[in-house]
Amino acid sequence: MIRTVLVKLLKTSPLFRLVLIPLAFIIFAGLFLVIDVLAHKKPELHLLEPAIAQSGEVVVIHGDHFGTSPQDNWVEISGDRLSANTILEWEPNRIMVLLPETVQDGLVYVATGAGKSNPLIFANRSNIPVRNVVQTSITFPEITGFNPPRVETGKRLVISGKNFGLSREDSRVLFTWQLDPAIPLSPQNRISQSTIPCSETLFEYEFWSDQEIRVRVPDGAASGSVYVQTSRGLSNGEPVQIINQPGKKTVFRSTDVHRIAQCGYNQYCRGRWKHAASANSPTGCLGDTAQHRDNPFRARTLPGKLPGNDIPSV
């Protein structure tokens, strides 16, 4: 029916023929344009793998509508178009490129005859600042040597090493002392029980720096290991030889010293106190009289000092 009407109009109406020909051309042109647009879409970028790289590494660009070859198409990074020899592979949805030496941070595009793609961000690893992480660790004091290696009690000893601290504060220098074999030592406190520190009140600390310490060898020190103890910990023990052998020191209880003062005995004779008036008489020794025979002064001996100068004065 429609076909018959159209054929009749074409035969009888010149005006219809004049309008129909351009209309048909427009319809066919529109169809061709639609087909061309559908066949040639603008490229779309989905993913850079990896997005952070550096020159000499391979980056894969994932997306769609790239075309089948790099001819008349290109990849652009940070405004620079990559040369054809950097394109390793080109597929409709995947492009593999080798980054050149001049690559910089910036946006990545893929351009084809249909247009330019959306951008993706690329970062050059060599341009990324690296955080400087300082490795913190506990630096224990360390002894490396002595000067001199053989020293007498009361003489200066120079200790060389590191990590002693800029000032002494509560730090100590510990010397080995001669223990009574009958005194048991606990494993937990063996160092503290078998060492004797330099005395601050006796001015045995002369100089203290991070790498050198000068001290006077304390009375009671014996040949053996020397340690430096700081707030950071205990150093290694290094041996030093004490030339003069330690003697013994008699230490009285405070009650004994009080009794000596009351009785007027102020001289030491053959291990006992005696009265000054009878210093030349053996019978003057304390304990030889009936008054004190039943109460001899008990004393304990510690290594380090000879009696005489260290007997308490009354």
Assess if residue 176 is contained within a domain.
Answer: yes
Please list the alpha-helical segments (H only) found in 80-189: none
Assess if residue 209 is contained within a domain.
Answer: yes
Contacts of 202 (CB under 8 A, 6+ apart): 216, 218
Contact 265, 277 (CB under 8 A): no
Q: What is the pLDDT of residues 86-102, one digit of tens each?
A: 999 999 999 999 999 99
Q: Which of 96, 126, 156 is the last residue of a domain?
A: 126
How confident is the model at residue 252, as a pLDDT? 44
Are 212 and 235 within one domain? Answer: yes
How confident is the model at residue 298, as a pLDDT? 38
Are 288 and 209 within one domain? Answer: no
Q: Which of 71, 94, 126 is the last residue of a domain?
A: 126
How confident is the model at residue 70, as a pLDDT? 86
Assess if residue 254 is contained within a domain.
Answer: yes
Sequence letter at residue 134:
V
Query: Domain count of the chain?
Result: 3
Q: Which domain holds residue 122?
A: 44-126
Are 84 and 171 within one domain? Answer: no
How confident is the model at residue 45, as a pLDDT? 94
Assess if residue 214 is contained within a domain.
Answer: yes
Assess if residue 15 is contained within a domain.
Answer: no
How confident is the model at residue 294, as a pLDDT? 43
Omega of the bond leading into 184 within 30 degrees of 0 (cis): no
Q: Which of 191, 218, 242 is the last residue of a domain?
A: 242
How confident is the model at residue 128, as a pLDDT? 84
How confident is the model at residue 16, as a pLDDT? 62
Assess if residue 4 is contained within a domain.
Answer: no
Assess if residue 213 is contained within a domain.
Answer: yes
Q: Residue 61 is part of a domain; what is its CATH number?
A: 2.60.40.10
Are 146 and 232 within one domain? Answer: yes
Q: Which parts of the chain register pLDDT below 70?
A: 1-2, 5-11, 13, 15-18, 20, 32, 34-40, 132-138, 178-192, 245-314
| First-to-last C-alpha distance (Å) of the chain | 149
Are 146 and 238 within one domain? Answer: yes
pTM tops 0.75, yes or no:
no
Q: What is the pLDDT of residues 104-146, one digit of tens each?
A: 999 999 999 888 999 999 999 988 887 766 555 668 999 999 9
Are 231 and 261 within one domain? Answer: no
Are 151 and 89 within one domain? Answer: no
How confident is the model at residue 194, as a pLDDT? 80
* Residue entry with tokens 């002693």: 164
Are 94 and 110 within one domain? Answer: yes
Burial track 195-213 (b if 16+ CB lie within 10 A, e otherwise): bbbbeeeeebbeebeeeeb
Q: CA 74, CA 84: separation in Å to the nearest integer?
A: 8
* Residue entry with tokens 């030496």: 101
How confident is the model at residue 311, as a pLDDT? 39
Are 232 and 251 within one domain? Answer: no
Assess if residue 6 is contained within a domain.
Answer: no
Torsion sign across C-alpha atoms 138, 144, 150, 154: negative
Are 217 and 258 within one domain? Answer: no
